[in-house]
Structure 1
């Protein structure tokens, strides 16, 4: 299996991001608006460490709009800083130490990157604000595939070559395929792509037979009859009507369950008052119609956590990832 082995271009981007992060530490706070302040001064920047249009971008923009909706006068601009499977964006935030004027739309790469490649940060380098929810991926195939379930996919992989598309060499898709190998005895040949859009195109175009994709990325193809879901890698079925009929991998005897979290973090070293300011706004956002609309539109599980609870979640999730992610 080729999961967790970054290609040359990806490694170059990650190394560059690590260098950027290392340089940023030395100048932390010197050019960061409001560094040390008790609340943001002027416009706020929501950093998205991936390209526009993906799940992280949608999460970042929903959070930005939601925070603005519950705090009149607040202005948040979105800044996409993609590269290195998220490392460029995280390294940029690392250089904003102490500033309450920056937030970042975080997800599982925050944990997977430091475990798999050399970068200058871990999740402890930042200030956890809010976990928005959890996004469980689906194992999907084209309608004409002989595989009808996760168990079928495992069985086929043991007897012939099965190409499986994943979004990034260190992301949650790679994790679920690695877990299927470790826990169910599968033997997939994974092909990393830059994002969900490329992975989906490869699956529809026949370059790969399987892919692990989020529900929001493939719902249109399900409705058009272009794809079928073999299972969801979750401990329980989705309750959304469009997904309620998709069995879990556990139901099929494949003991794999893994959630990609969606969350928001701030720079490390925040003034405690600034940290509390953002957590309080995040709580108000979680109680708003804007949050409910976002969760429903993205088919998320609305499992929220704030501040220290989010930090504890990250530490626990990191321990689980360490069992399957390696350098």
Structure 2
């Protein structure tokens, strides 16, 4: 069943019909993307070469729905190592054309290949000597013929039953833009560190940018007791510092062990008086350590892998510089 088979005036459309309509749309758009892969060839390689050789910015043009897709493609390129921005073709003809320089590459999107606002500014683009990559649904269109490289994003049909609303065609163009961005990312050797510098905000940025040193508890806030302390003294330190654990240090301030809330539950099953027990008798020898320069996300992975809730942080000389637990990472937005 397709949308054209459903009466538009039916107010009592059933759930099964709604789900089938939605599935038909998804299948239509998925098929449009599947048909792109076999058509990729030398034009795609040429487009990548032009973009890699670009000494300026990639200027993405598109009207209407293609414009919305173009904005996303520009954003994806910019965040994956290919500087790019979107220019509205209508505004370009009224001054914004000055945003394009001879060092740039223009990526123009038009399903018909006959978008008047884009065709109007083509002579000015050519006068600048700018390379032009077109993404069209008609390889015989004016824009396709006038471009240095045309990428064929044509689809057999739109998901819209009228064949009018851009649906499958915009999905195909968007996917083709992602393909360009990923191909360029890989070729440039764009790394996780590069990616993190483009995404400092939100949870993604915190996971990629925050190091253990940025989130660990240190200084006076770090729970520590001496090797000769009693279990009772260790419990007071754990309570005061609120980290659910304490490091146990020797006379030189180096960590020799750790004692956590979990250790306390096990100890209470075996001892009658916490005041008579030394912390050295019940602590976990050594404890799991991590360096301050590692990513905080790696600390989370280490705790999950070892099934523990706290870590001691040591520098390259083996000196205790901090501590953290799962709540520390949760508060920092790492997990």
State the TM-score bracket (shorter-chain normalisation): under 0.3
Structure whose residues are more often helix by fraction: 2
* Bigger Rg over Cα: 2
| Greater RCO structure (CA 8 Å; 6+ sep) | 1
Normalising to structure 2: TM-score of the pair?
Answer: 0.27
